[in-house]
Structure 1
Amino acid sequence: MTDRTLAGLVSEEAAAAYDRLHDAVHLPVGVGPDKFDLAEEPARELLDAGVITFAGHGDGRLVRAVHPSIALRRLLDRQHRHLAALQTDLAGTWQRFAALVSPVSGLTDGDLQASDVRAVRDRAEMARLAAGLYRSPRRLLRATFTARSGDEPTTEGLLLPPPDSIAAGVEFRMLYDAPHASDTWGSYSIEQSVRAGEQARVRQTVPLKMMHVDDTVALVTIDHTGAQGALHIESPALLKLLAEWFDAMWTAPDTTPIGGKVPDELTPARHKVLTLLASGLTDESIANHTGTAVRTVRRHVSALLEILNVDSRFAAGVAAVRRGWL
C-alpha cells in the first residue's frame, strides 16, 4: 500500500514528484537534484493535470504544488469527465452493434441467418441455449446479466461454473447490473457463483443479457430483459465487436469487482458494503443485498468515509481503488 497523496489518480512517478514538490514547498525550474525538471514525463503529467503552479520569472522561476485538497478535487473532476467519455464510447459501440444486427433496423430473419446471425424468438429455446453456452467455454466466457423479470427463480435453475472447467483454468467473467445485485435472489445467485469460481463485477446499468463463448459464438438479447427474443451470433466481425464492448465495460472505472481478499483494515461486512457502495447501490439496496438494517448500512458507510478520510461516496470508491481495496 502506498501513502502518496495522488496515488491511483496519476502515475506512480508523477505521484512521487508531486509529494517531493509539496514537501519542498517550492523548487526552482531546472535540471538537478534540488530542481524540478519540466522536461521529464512526471512533471509534464502534473502540469497537464493542473496540480502545479509557477512563481517568478526567468532564472528565478519556481514551481509549487497546489494544495492537496485542490489537487485531489481537480483529479476527481478529471475522473468524472473520463467516466462520462467512457460511457459515451460504450454507448457508441452498442449503437454500432444494434445498427448491424437489431431487427428494428429492418433486417429479416433470412438476412440475419445469411450473416451468421439467427433470431431466436422462443423463450424456452433461449433458456436452453443460454444454459448450454454458460457451461461450454474452454477458454473464456464473457457474460452480462440484467435484473430478472417474470416468475420467481429456483435454486434448481442456478447456473454455476463447472468445477472441472474452473480446475482447467477456464475464466467465467460475469457482469451484473446493480438492480440484479441488490435483489434478494440476485445477491444469493451471485454469491454462490463467486464461491464456485466465477469472476463477478457490478455496474450501475447493463443494457442487455449476453453469453459470449471463446470468441466463437454468442447469444444476445434484443432488449433489456429478453422479452423480444435474442440473437444467436457466429459472425466473427460481430463477435469481435461484442468482445470489445464487454471488455470496455469489464475494465471501466465504474465497474466494481465482487469478492476478493478482504483488506486487513476492514471487516468482511464493511468490505462488502464498500463493494456495493462503489457499484452505485443505495443504502436501501445494500441493506437488501446484505440482509441487514438500513441504519446498520449507514453506520458502515459513515465508518468507511472516516477510514478513507473522504466526504462522499464517489470519493470513497476512488480512495478504495487507490488503496487496492477494490
Structure 2
Amino acid sequence: MRGSTRTEVLAGLVSTEAAVAYERLHAASRLPVGEGPEAFDPEAPAERELQDAGVISFGGSGSARFARAVPPAVALRRLLDRQHRRISELQADLAGTWERFTALVAPTGGLTSVDGGGVRAIQDHDELTRLASGLYRSPRRLLRATFTGSSGGHRVSEGVLLPPADALEAGAEFRMIYDAAHAHDGWGARSIRQSTEAGEQARVRKSVPVRMMHVDDTVALVTTDRTGAAGALQVHSPELLKVLAEWFDALWDAPDTVPLDGADVAELTPVRRRVLSLLAAGLTDEAIARSTGTGERTVRRHVCAILEILQVESRFAAGVAAAKRGWV
C-alpha cells in the first residue's frame, strides 16, 4: 500500500484530517482527553468528526478521562455502513426529485406545452439529434449533461460529444455524466477520452435514467426514456429547469459517481464485476474460481486487472475502494 495503510483505508470515508487523527489515536492505543499535541481534543473538528462516525470510545473520568480508537476492522465496517446509508438516502432523494419533475409535466402523448409554453414535446429523432447537437455547442457558462449507453437503435455522432474550443476558452464548463454501459463500451471509452482531452469534465456512474442537455439554466432537452427513442422534452420553464439542475447536481456529487479526470476509462467487464463482488465478500481465489466456473489462474488475472483499475495494491483495498464507489 502507498503510505499508511489505515489512513489510506479511511480516506474518502472521513476527511483527511480525521483519518490522520484516527491513525494517531490508534497508534497511541489511548490518549488523555484535553488540549495539546499529546492529547485528544473532543472539540476539535477532526476529532468531533470521529466521534460522530462512532469510531472512537472514551474511558475513565475527570482528569483521567481518555479516548481510544475502535479496532480498524470495526471502524471500517461502521464507516462503510454509513457510506451505504448515505448512498441509499441520496438515491431516494434523487428519485424524489425526478418524481417532482415528472409530476410537473404531463405525459408526452399529445403534449404541446406546460407552464405557459415552458415545455415542448419532440417526437422526431432527426429534430432531437439537431437540437442536442446545437445545445451541446451553445453553453456560455455551464452545461449539465447525462448520457446513456442505450441508443434505441440510433448512434450519436462522436462530434456531438466534443466541447467546442471557443466556449471552453470563454470559460464555459462542460459537465457530463456517463453510465457504465457507455464508459465500458469500446466506442464509448474512446469518445469519452476524446471529450476529456478536449476539456470536458466527465464522471461515470452505474446507471443514468435519461439523456439530458441542460444549458446555462435557460433551456434543457431531456429524453422521456433511457434511449430517446420515445422522444424528448424541450424545457424552458424556470421551475422545471431548477428541478433538473438540482437533480443533476445531486447526481454529480453522489459518492457512487466517479470522476474520470481525463484518464482512460477502465473496462470492468461483467466477469470482473462478479469477481470483484466475490473478492469484496472475502472469498479466496479457489472459492471465486468455483463460483465463476473458471480456473484459479484466470481469477488471479482478473484480480490483478481489478487492482490496476482501482489503483490499489491489495485485495482488501480493492474491496474498500469498490465500496466507496458504490460498486459492491
**TM-score, with length taken from structure 2:** 0.79
The alignment partner of 1:96 has SS state of helix
2:183 pairs with one of 181, 187, 205 = 181
Give the 3 Å change call, closer, same or farther, for CA 168–303 of structure 1 in structure 2.
closer
Q: In the alignment, what sits opposite 1:311?
A: 316
Shift of 1:156: 6.9
The alignment partner of 1:35 has SS state of coil
1:93 pairs with one of 85, 93, 97 = 97
Aligned partners of 2:273 and 2:69: how far apart in 1? 41
The alignment partner of 1:311 has SS state of helix
% identical aligned pairs? 57
Aligned partners of 2:308 and 2:235: how far apart in 1? 47
The alignment partner of 1:75 has SS state of helix
Name whichever of 3-12 and 158-167 sits farther off.
3-12
Give the 3 Å change call, closer, same or farther, for CA 307–174 of structure 1 in structure 2.
closer
Q: In the alignment, what sits opposite 1:163?
A: 165
Shift of 1:193: 1.8
The alignment partner of 2:167 has SS state of helix
Q: In the alignment, what sits opposite 2:257?
A: 255
Give the 3 Å change call, closer, same or farther, for CA 257–239 of structure 1 in structure 2.
same
Q: In the alignment, what sits opposite 1:299?
A: 304
1:65 and 2:69 aligned: yes
1:54 pairs with one of 54, 58, 65 = 58
The alignment partner of 2:34 has SS state of coil
Asked whether the equivalents of residues 21 and 65 of structure 1 are also in contact (C-alpha less than 8 Å), the reply is yes
Q: How many residues align?
A: 299
Asked whether the equivalents of residues 25 and 68 of structure 2 are also in contact (C-alpha less than 8 Å), the reply is yes
CA-to-aligned-CA distance 1:218-272 (integer Å, 9 cap, x gap): 11111121122111111111111111111111111111122446xxxxxxxxx75
1:282 pairs with one of 252, 255, 270 = 270
Over aligned residue pairs, what C-alpha RMSD do you find? 3.2
Aligned partners of 1:162 and 1:224: how far apart in 2? 25
Aligned partners of 2:308 and 2:219: how far apart in 1? 46
Q: In the alignment, what sits opposite 1:128?
A: 130
Structure 1: which 5+ residue stretches go unaligned? 262-270, 287-292, 321-326
Q: In the alignment, what sits opposite 1:264?
A: none
1:112 pairs with one of 111, 114, 120 = 114
Shift of 1:89: 0.9
Q: Which amino acid aligns with 2:91?
A: Q
Asked whether the equivalents of residues 283 and 294 of structure 1 are also in contact (C-alpha less than 8 Å), the reply is no
Give the 3 Å change call, closer, same or farther, for CA 23–294 of structure 1 in structure 2.
closer
Asked whether the equivalents of residues 90 and 245 of structure 1 are also in contact (C-alpha less than 8 Å), the reply is yes
Give the 3 Å change call, closer, same or farther, for CA 59–118 of structure 1 in structure 2.
same
Shift of 1:153: 3.4
Give the 3 Å change call, closer, same or farther, for CA 70–131 of structure 1 in structure 2.
same
Name whichever of 219-228 and 143-152 sits farther off.
143-152
Shift of 1:294: 9.7
Asked whether the equivalents of residues 304 and 316 of structure 1 are also in contact (C-alpha less than 8 Å), the reply is no
Q: In the alignment, what sits opposite 1:194?
A: 196
The alignment partner of 2:149 has SS state of coil
The alignment partner of 1:88 has SS state of helix
Shift of 1:14: 2.6
Q: Which amino acid aligns with 2:185?
A: D
Give the 3 Å change call, closer, same or farther, for CA 305–123 of structure 1 in structure 2.
closer
Asked whether the equivalents of residues 174 and 198 of structure 1 are also in contact (C-alpha less than 8 Å), the reply is yes
1:80 and 2:84 aligned: yes
